[in-house]
Structure 1
Amino acid sequence: MEEALMRFTEFFQVLPTLLFSMVIVALFGASLPMITFAIGIVSWTAVARITRSEFLRIRELEYVTASRASGASNAKLMFRVILPNALPPIIVQSALMVGSAILFEAGLSFLGLTDPNVVSWGQIIGSNRQYILESSFTVTIPGLAIFITVLAISLVGDGLNDALNPKLRQR
């Protein structure tokens, strides 16, 4: 079962993400829920692989073996022992993925592949690209907004890593 899920994950990992999401949006429409679905369907593999690798690494450690020997059930091992110790890299990867999703949506909007009735920073940049030499602020300000938002989300993810990492709790 695990191997089949990993092969399924690898299938989605080898697809060209921008092209695959463009196909999904073109086939099913450019509504906000469909764009969210398209970004999610091409982005979930990174978190899945990090989660699996952390669980495989942690399940071999001594404290997990000790918990198993003391009679802990598989559910308790997964949710009470392994998951809290696997969370920091998963949270960091998830925060990076949110930043990537914002950039991805901005790229799709820039290309005109989103709902024209929903304003987005990428759409603003795309619609004002012809005025870049006369009024550069029309593309600079939305670009800075994207940059600051992605940077803030990355810093929040790093802060959550520091707060939730059991190895750093002594500090």
Structure 2
Amino acid sequence: MTRRGAPAFDVRAAQPGEEDAIARVCRAGFAESSAGLLPPDVIDLQARHYYDVERLRRELAPQPHDPSWQGYVVAVSRDDEVLGAAGGGVIDERVGHVLVLYLDPALRGHGIGTALLDHVTAQQLAVGATEQWVSVTEGNELGIPFYLARGFVVRGRVPYVPVRGGAPVATSLRMSRDIRP
């Protein structure tokens, strides 16, 4: 898969040994999309917590017999450079959740994010999901237009509470779309 000006890439299940590259891409994407929306210390805390290499190692693959986490998928260049990563799962049998989707910020607009979302969606459809949800920090000028363009609709707002708890530091939009074939 390729678009003019973008590297050729494939989307596949993440493999052992790619944890550092996934952490790099997700931390950079999270920091860029959260800048000005979350306090810098919260951005750092969240990125270190969710994209810790040891955590990624444990969560790299799907959990056997548990579709609530279907493992990381990656977009990789022809020379196996990780360009983006995504992951999600299905809760309540029919409700899929996109839990992470980031790519190298320099590669936005070349179809990589869409290909990652399509792969996660296919995983969720394969286990019976009929709708898909995602949370995006309100004001995220990178994520919100991306999801709206792919048929997601804002369904509500919830407080954004940092991983260690405490007072909310922002608001997240809860967005969903129908994914029935």
Q: If the TM-score is normalised by the length of the shorter chain, which range does it land in? A: under 0.3
Bigger proportion of residues as helix: 1
TM-score by length of 1: 0.25
TM-score by length of 2: 0.24
Structure exhibiting the larger radius of gyration computed from Cα positions: 1
Bigger proportion of residues as strand: 2
